[in-house]
Chain A
């Protein structure tokens, strides 16, 4: 096989349309979102929900961690952050979402009995972006799922989308994570 490689290099050298060298280094994956961290501050506590998918599109499922339980009848102010932790130092994708705020929206879904989300940040056209929000928990304890979805190129003017209803949003999903939460 050595000979084959030498031949390869010799023949490619004869014929190069692009000045590209035969760079054989492993691919460094860029713009990949590996990690979502949602932080909730309220009732004197900080709760973080994290989903970390260390192998990207690889076979391993993301690891989901919750730092604690939510308290009933409490207002939390929250924010969400997206990172690519495959590069060192970790790349903060949140900044790029802020730059392209018209092309993105984060959606939060939770059963109405457990609480509701309200957007606190808006894009340059006054539509919600969703990197910052408030979460008001319901009066009763319970369990359920919070789903956080980042949509690329959603139709922000569709019916209900500015209220955080994802059903008419369209676009493609860049992140979709479900956290099983407990309200005590």
Chain B
């Protein structure tokens, strides 16, 4: 058993070589926590290091011992060239670099502490600590990350290299991922990760599960209880590490919440349940490794009762009254409307080292996603889903990596096959039709170290994609869309009032990335990157046609949509000092054929009039700035500050882009005293400004008052006012029963119980956000 009093989250790895760049097998690497020995190719790895300064001694008989200080604030790669001891003592060459997606694009890691704090929340809640990441919400539990103003299909999420295929096109479809299963999370604010994909127009989120390379067995349990929602989460994991041979991990999470509450009323039907599992087994030898991974995400999420509205009169009333029309007493039970989701991910990976400097890694993955959306329905259909989608995705990928002295080459090929099945037995016309999709791609990325402090990298990727759908159009809709002239050839069949069509689309895309990184003295780094990416319209943008019940609007796709082309330039200047660190990250982003939803008028049905929103394309320009700093004022006091601003403009119409996150500022002050059981106190202030730049998509409608039609304006455009929230966090560490390392954390979110609404919450027309929440958390390592 392994003492985990010093269990930290960082890894130090690297390669020990001699003056001729030959590996030194059996070099001793000593630190105050762990010692290790380099393997036959000179490589070593030490896991579980805490944050802070670390003295590292590297010795090899006949060579001068290297004694260096490494600042552990993230995973560090330390490549050391030892000099023979006969020669005159000279300073050794120490190179520090981090294992990253791209060496020229700024990448932010989410700390393990943040992952644990958000144990009972969502993936996106943990990502919010990164400046430039905001949250797109539908209620309290459906949360998606927005990176520099973009989200959903533009921000793919990768779990252990596998792109999550979980109907991610929809704004009310949150990532089907259990945050507790994440070991490491990185946010890349651009499309430069070409080894992953060529269509990450907004950026990407890369998640790796915990992997322990030390010979040990340990477990961890986190129990969280929250006052708001009167529920909590229990997550337990067990990890068997090994330097070579068998390693395995298993994790289970259970979440149970009732209705959340805003400061003034219960948010009826906002409870949720989750029951998740993930686990992996791997067998690792010197030259090869084989691993199998499986995860299951299983969730039931209530959709706020008050957001289920009827026609535009209901929408008008809700916006103007500012009070939800359904407020029931608190309950744990989840009624309709609700979402019931299952996501299975299975992956088989094989890594083969070809020689000391090259390796090839191949994986196959299978994902099965079943999304059921249950609505308020009558009679026999009451318990029948209104939307039942089964999405099956197979993917196969092989990556080759070769390192020379100054040059690293990564290249690979990938293929994907996907089948979506929209169950017609729901008795409701599905928003997303049945379809099959086939993708293939290959890429090459090179990184060249011109010298120790100047690195250039560049890459190019080609993607082929074809999709064929089976879609039924109402004949009236077919004509309204004007498809009879352009798409008459895709009709294959007809029923009384519908056309059965087989639309098919094929795309060839080239994406590329080019960047340079320059290191200056005194811990300054300057990164510049330009990336070109393409995103094909997703099935919802092509095929949507019908009433979206949760928003009370008719959404119409368009078969004529073209792919989006994006060009993003981003620059990052950072300083990583002992007492002060900061990063400033400006960007400029052009997207041609940018797809967005825009209101175009009304349609009258027997249920009344509904606003019609159509997917349209325009040329968009975004620019913005993210900044964060960390100042260690004193050994006990720390100050953190972050700022994010994005400005989106529709260039074709000369007006602001819709749904751009408002400016945010976050400040926190932290007091830490190791001597007092690791006492940590933190106070955070979060200020969200009002979004002043928004397009006016308000529309006029007639509502009936006293038997007369009265024209009114439905204000769907005006963003809510600015708000400021205060959050508190505290923790202490104990040894329970003398052996169990235990942390108790008490935190309060929205301390002042402030009433507010957020521009990026799709339910802002109906309810206030959640009020004060007090959370008690217990973490045990054993």
Interface residues of A (CB under 8 A from B): 1, 4-5, 7-8, 11-12, 15, 17-18, 20, 22-31, 33-36, 51-62, 86, 93, 96-97, 99-100, 109-112, 114, 144-147, 151-153, 155, 170-178
Main SS of the interface on chain A?
loop
Instruction: Decide if B436 touches A4 in the complex (CB within 8 Å).
Output: yes
Interface hit among B1-9, B304-312, B731-739: B304-312
Interface size class of B (residues with CB under 8 A): 35 or more
Interface residues of B (CB under 8 A from A): 305, 308-311, 313-314, 325-326, 342, 344, 366, 368, 370, 376-379, 381, 390, 392, 394, 417, 419, 421, 423-430, 434, 436, 438, 466, 468, 470, 472, 474-477, 480, 495, 497-498, 500, 502, 504, 546-547, 554, 603-608, 610, 704, 706-709
B464 CB, nearest partner CB in chain A, Å: 13
CA distance A112 to B606 in the complex (A): 25
A159 CB, nearest partner CB in chain B, Å: 14
Instruction: Decide if A55 touches B394 in the complex (CB within 8 Å).
Output: no
Instruction: Decide if A12 touches B428 in the complex (CB within 8 Å).
Output: no
Q: Which residue of B lies closest to A36 (CB)?
A: B606
Partner of B419, one of A12, A20, A145: A12
Q: Which residue of B lies closest to A17 (CB)?
A: B368
CA distance A99 to B475 in the complex (A): 34
Instruction: Decide if B604 touches A17 in the complex (CB within 8 Å).
Output: no
Instruction: Decide if B608 touches A51 in the complex (CB within 8 Å).
Output: no
Instruction: Decide if A155 touches B477 in the complex (CB within 8 Å).
Output: no
CA distance A81 to B394 in the complex (A): 50
Partner of A53, one of B377, B424, B605, B708: B605
Instruction: Decide if A29 touches B427 in the complex (CB within 8 Å).
Output: yes
A47 CB, nearest partner CB in chain B, Å: 18
Q: Which 10 pairs between the two chains have the least Cβ-Cβ distance?
A: A173-B310, A30-B427, A170-B325, A111-B707, A176-B608, A59-B480, A53-B606, A172-B310, A96-B379, A58-B474
CA distance A177 to B751 in the complex (A): 47
Instruction: Decide if B604 touches A146 in the complex (CB within 8 Å).
Output: no
CA distance A49 to B194 in the complex (A): 63
Instruction: Decide if A173 touches B608 in the complex (CB within 8 Å).
Output: yes
- Among A23, A54, A97, A172, the most chain B Cβ lie within 10 Å of the Cβ of A172
Partner of A8, one of B308, B423, B436: B436
Jot down 30 A-B pairs with beta carbons below 8 A, ordered by A.
A8-B417, A12-B419, A12-B421, A15-B368, A20-B421, A26-B495, A26-B500, A55-B474, A57-B603, A57-B605, A58-B477, A59-B474, A62-B604, A62-B606, A93-B378, A96-B378, A97-B378, A109-B704, A109-B706, A109-B707, A111-B707, A145-B704, A145-B709, A153-B326, A172-B309, A172-B314, A173-B310, A173-B607, A175-B606, A176-B311
List residues of chain B with CB within 8 A of the CB of A51: 606
CA distance A145 to B706 in the complex (A): 9
CA distance A145 to B309 in the complex (A): 24
Partner of A34, one of B310, B417, B606: B606
Known A27-B426, A152-B376; contact A59-B603, beta-carbon cutoff 8 A: yes
B706 CB, nearest partner CB in chain A, Å: 6
B549 CB, nearest partner CB in chain A, Å: 9
Known A17-B370, A30-B427, A111-B708; contact A173-B313, beta-carbon cutoff 8 A: yes
List residues of chain A with CB within 8 A of the CB of B707: 109-111, 114, 144-147
Instruction: Decide if B429 touches A29 in the complex (CB within 8 Å).
Output: yes
